[in-house]
């Protein structure tokens, strides 16, 4: 009995955690799945006419017309999806 008590005391920190380990939920600690980015909505007829009427659109026109942020414009330019305007460039209307 003394030996069993000594063994139990030596493992007591681990044994005291057993009720917590039994209720441990591993799914609560895992990260949620990364959501994929959705594509922007298709352009309306008015937006297409606007783009066809103006062959050159500055970044500020894009931001104002499509209501997108400056960081989105920057990322598009960095990924070569959008050509940056020249400073003092001439607009063709």
The Cα 73–Cα 59 span in angstroms is 7
Name the token pair of 48.
């297409």
Q: Per the domain annotation, does 76 fall within a domain?
A: yes
Between 21 and 82, residue with greater pLDDT: 82
The Cα 52–Cα 71 span in angstroms is 25
What DSSP element (H or E) covers 2? Answer: helix 2-10
What's the whole-number mean pLDDT along residues 65-89?
67
> What per-residue confidence (pLDDT) applies to 45?
79
Residue range(s) defining the domain that contains residue 60: 56-85
Does 46 have pLDDT greater than 70?
yes
How many structural domains compose the chain?
1
Tell me the whole-structure pTM to 2 decimals. Answer: 0.25
CB 84 within 8 A of CB 73: no
Does 49 have pLDDT greater than 70?
yes
Q: Per the domain annotation, does 32 fall within a domain?
A: no
Q: Per the domain annotation, does 61 fall within a domain?
A: yes
For the chain, what percent of residues have pLDDT higher than 90? 0
Does 79 have pLDDT greater than 70?
yes
How far is CA 48 from its chain centroid?
A: 28
């Amino acid at each position: 009995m003394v030996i069993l008590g000594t063994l139990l005391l030596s493992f007591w920190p681990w044994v005291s955690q057993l009720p917590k380990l039994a209720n441990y939920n591993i799914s609560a600690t895992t990260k949620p799945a990364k959501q994929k980015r959705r594509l922007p909505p298709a352009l309306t007829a008015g937006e297409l006419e606007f783009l066809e009427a103006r062959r050159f659109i500055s970044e500020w026109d894009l931001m104002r017309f499509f209501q997108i942020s400056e960081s989105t414009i920057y990322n598009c330019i960095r990924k070569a999806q959008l050509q940056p305007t020249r400073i003092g460039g001439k607009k063709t209307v």
